[in-house]
Amino acid sequence: MTNELTAAGIDPFDESVYRAVLTRRTAAPAELAADLGCSPLRAARALDRLHDHGLVGRLAGARRRYAAIEPGAAVESLIRNRTAELDRVRSAADELSRLFAAAQAGTAGEEEVEITTGREALGRWFVRLQQEAREDVMTLDRPPYALTTSNPVESTALGRGVRYRAVYAPEALEWPGVLEDIRGLVRRGEQARVMPGLRIKLAIADRRLALMPLSLDLDGVRAAVIRPSTLLDALTDYWELCWKQALPLDAPAEDPLDEEDRLVLTLLVSGLKDEAIARQLGWSVRTMRRRMSRLHELLGAVNRFQAGVVAARRGWI
């Protein structure tokens, strides 16, 4: 089954729940859990998200039961909402162009945007952004790295209750030690996802301060420190769009896969080759392929693409 609603912002597992509700006409979480081989809690959370998207409605009564909204009207509403999101992201283009031109000319407005130069200055601002965060930090992360790949400040911030959500490019996971660092941060509370095609680096704290390198060139590092403005709003919208499209690296509830199996599937779907995954996990390529063969059997898949699709549909990655 293809995931036609993914482009409209619907998670593949949520779409499978929606299709099951359409088939049943009305459904409760426990019934959907039996149909899809997941926990009732996971089905209930998917129904909540579908309700927020306007794809299902909750029926009156004491029992928690849902009916599907007529697909034509529901999907049209989804498209309008996604179009509005994309329009907000598109509006960032003019602001980013203005920022780039101002940075080149050295005339960026000090009230909204400050240009900082050099690796040390970039590092100081990244530390300051995290130390000043009170609620959440949102990042887009990809190579190259101007400083170290590790981030010890994050562990301290997680310990005082700051929520971290990070979207990583697959290329980041190929750098020595990065995947192990991410796994350690996830155990401490970071929510991590991976998205192919990620082209920029970005950090946002409490939606009031952002740090964005102006290029990926390590020679002559320049970055923008962005305070409350339409540019910051647009960058926040762009981050949210990336988050919706990215694949989770942290385990869902009732995950039948162990941590390494789930990582293998997620990294394969993200585009990493067998050799790169084996290197990150400390395996030989033969061990990697033997593990993949076992996953194919578990998922009833004949190739890596199908394995990723089946795992995503079941909500395992």
> What string of DSSP letters covers 286-307?
HHHHHHHHHHHHHHT-SSHHHH
Q: What CATH code is assigned to 6-86?
A: 1.10.10.10
DSSP state of 161: T
Q: What is the pLDDT of residue 103?
A: 54
Q: What is the pLDDT of residue 83?
A: 74
> What string of DSSP letters covers 83-148?
HHHHHHHHTHHHHHHHHHHHHHHT---TTTEEEEESHHHHHHHHHHHHHH-SSEEEEEE-S--SS-
Of 165 and 177, the one with more pLDDT: 165
For domain 112-248, which CATH number applies: 1.10.3210.10, 3.40.50.300, 3.30.870.10, 3.40.50.2000?
3.30.870.10
* Banded model confidence at residue 226, pLDDT cuts 50, 70, 90: very high
Highest mean pLDDT among 94-108, 235-249, 253-267, 302-316: 235-249
Q: What is the pLDDT of residue 253?
A: 46
Q: What is the pLDDT of residue 313?
A: 65
Residue 308, classed as helix, strand or coil, is helix
For CATH 1.10.10.10, the residue range(s) in the chain are 6-86, 259-313
The fold for domain 259-313 equals Arc Repressor Mutant, subunit A (1.10.10)
For CATH 3.30.870.10, the residue range(s) in the chain are 112-248
Mean pLDDT of all residues in 90-117: 65
pTM of the model: 0.56
